[in-house]
Structure 1
Amino acid sequence: MFETPIVSESIREIAPDFRGLSIHVDATGTSVDELDPNILADAYKLVLDGGPSWAEAHLASWAEVYSRFGAKPSRTPCSAQALRKRVLKDGRIPAINPVVDLYNAISLRYALPVGGENYDAYVGCPRLTIADGSEIFDTVMNGEAVIEHPAAGEVVWRDDMGVTCRRWNWRQGTRTRMDAAAGRMWFILESLGTMPREALAEAGETFVDGLQRLMPGAAIETQQVSFTRE
């Protein structure tokens, strides 16, 4: 059974127009096909042509939200902005694995942050909340495993063990990183009010279609994520 992700009511003050789409996948026992290279190529072309039409406004909204909780978006941009900058600079991004490449293509095509996690590594359900600064975050620095702590007041995704993604969707931790497309996976598509509501729904449908093509037979659950009183 998958647990419903929690978005703390405290996030409403920072991003009252936040909308999330949660997608759980159980690919246990299924094989993973190759990703159609045209999926990434088409996403690159759209970005290089200036699309989608809401990209500039949506990414500017994310920068404003980051500033509200004390992050510097020019230094630590949201994941969608970081991907877009790499494509605008280099024309493409390095391939990782079919599932990661697929959700990166969705992020680029729809100008929204998309995260992918190894759900089997979670302890308790994913929660979007405000850190108090005592939480642990496992990462890598100069090739060595290190433990960091988020700043007090920082927006983070976390579980019962610690932080899984810092500064909302800026940097993923190593413990729940999806190194292989196998077992149970969790994805979160995150938008703000400057992205059309129907575009978020379309992004989810396009992503699910891609997942079904990559992993025929995988069980997929999709649900809207809303604010919750913890």
Structure 2
Amino acid sequence: MSPLANPQQYLDNARIAPEVFQLRPDYRALLLVITNIPPAPSDAQSDALLQEAEASAKAALAKAPVTEIPHVKAWRSAYTAFGAKPKKTPNSLEALTRRVEKGGLPRVNRLTDIYNAISVKHQIPLGGEDLDKYSGAPFLVRAKGGEKFEMKAGGEVVNEPPIAGEVVWCDEEGVTCRVWNWRQGPRTALTDETRNVLIIMDALEACSDGQLDAAADELSRVLSGLSPEVEVRRRLFKA
């Protein structure tokens, strides 16, 4: 089934394997399907959101190093539990926060800029998948090890399979994101033409349900403001 044929059924068919919750009983995933987003380059609105996020990150970094920011610290612990090395594979929130520390967040396109800003401002790892390139419903599992995962390195596409026990997001064609929320594969990555997107918000105990909802509400409000045709659906997963 195409994700866009029935977005609600698509969300209903999404799943998280029990062994993920066994690893981290405090884990929650908030999935949003957002359709009919008008694509556009970075603009004044997305830049303002990024500046707000940068200011928020700088305020947090003034109080503690990036590795001691509560939600970053929690994710580093989660990674270590299945054998990943946070220094080598930082979670997406940590990677973006370090970009602020080194100078500022990237300007990519309006959609990517908006969701990066929400991630940093609310201190929640957040990923975006192009639904027009996605195959079937998303599911989160612990890898058997050796599954195909193609990514770009040095301008070439290379296979870098997950290790056994690694937490990975997948669709029917294979792994779409390695190390829970570290690295997305190019097959389903957002582009300047993306109109329909799956947003994945990952939370551990350091992030409350209220904080998770606040981030989703702001993202929904901002994207809905881009066009009356934008539609947002969401589903929360928890143990």
TM over 0.5: yes
1:25 Cα offset (Å): 1.2
Aligned-residue offset at 1:148 = 2.3
Q: Distance in 1 between matches of 2:187 and 2:228?
A: 27
Provide the C-alpha distance between the structure 1 equivalents of 2:236 and 2:166, rounded to a whole number of angstroms: 23
| Alpha carbons 2:39, 2:111 under 8 Å: kept | no
The correspondence for 2:48, drawn from 38, 41, 44, is 38
**Structure 1 residues 40 and 68 mapped into 2: Cα distance closer, same or farther (>3 Å)?**
same
Pairing partner for 2:117 from 105, 109, 118: 105
Task: Identify the structure with the greater helix proportion.
Answer: 2
2:161 alignment counterpart: 149
Q: Which residue of 1 aligns with 2:57?
A: 47
Aligned counterpart in structure 2 of residue 79 of structure 1, from 75, 86, 92 = 92
* SS at structure 2 position matched to 1:194: coil
Q: How big is the shift at 1:174?
A: 0.7
Residues 1:172 and 2:181 are matched in the alignment: no
**Out of 11, 32, 35, which is 2:20 matched to?**
11
Asked whether 1:60 is paired with 2:73, we answer yes
Cα offset, 1:10, TM superposition: 0.7
Which string of whole-angstrom CA distances, capped at 9 and with x for unpartnered residues, describes residues 10-54 of structure 1? 1012211011111101117x4548451221111101111117999
> How far apart, in 2, do the equivalents of 1:120 and 1:98 lie?
18
| TM-score of the two chains, using structure 2 as the length reference | 0.88
> How much has 1:180 moved relative to structure 2?
2.6
In the alignment, the residues of structure 1 paired with residue 227 and residue 110 of structure 2 have an alpha-carbon distance, to the nearest angstrom, of 10
What's the counterpart of residue 192 of structure 1? 204
Q: Give the share of equivalent positions with the same residue, in percent.
A: 33
Deviation at 1:154, TM superposition (A): 0.7
Query: What is the CA–CA distance in structure 2 between the aligned matches of 1:83 and 1:17, rounded to whole Å?
Result: 23
Task: Decide whether the 8 Å contact of 2:39 with 2:195 is kept in 1.
Answer: no
Question: After the TM superposition, which of the residue ranges 121-130 and 49-58 deviates more from structure 2?
Answer: 49-58
CA distance in 1, matches of 2:160, 2:95: 21
Q: 2:3 is matched with which residue? A: none
Determine which of 225, 231, 235 is the counterpart of 1:213.
Answer: 225
- For structure 1, list consecutive stretches of 5 or more residues without a partner in the other structure: none
TM-score (norm 1): 0.91
The gaps in structure 2 that reach 5 residues or longer are 1-5
Whether the 8 Å CA contact 1:46–1:52 is kept in 2: the answer is: no
Matched, 1:161 2:167: no
How far does the alpha carbon of each residue in 1:171-219 deviate from its partner, in whole angstroms, 9 at most, with x for none?
A: 0001000113433211011111111221111000001011112344111
CA distance in 2, matches of 1:44, 1:183: 26
Query: Following the alignment from structure 2 to structure 1, what is the Cα–Cα distance between the partners of residues 195 and 136?
Result: 17
Identify if the C-alpha distance between structure 1 residues 114 and 31 changes in structure 2 by more than 3 Å, giving closer, same or farther: closer
In structure 2, what is the Cα distance between the partners aligned to 1:31 and 1:141? 27
Cα root mean square deviation, aligned: 2.1
Aligned residue identity for 1:120: D
8 Å contact from structure 1 (residues 118, 176) kept in 2: yes
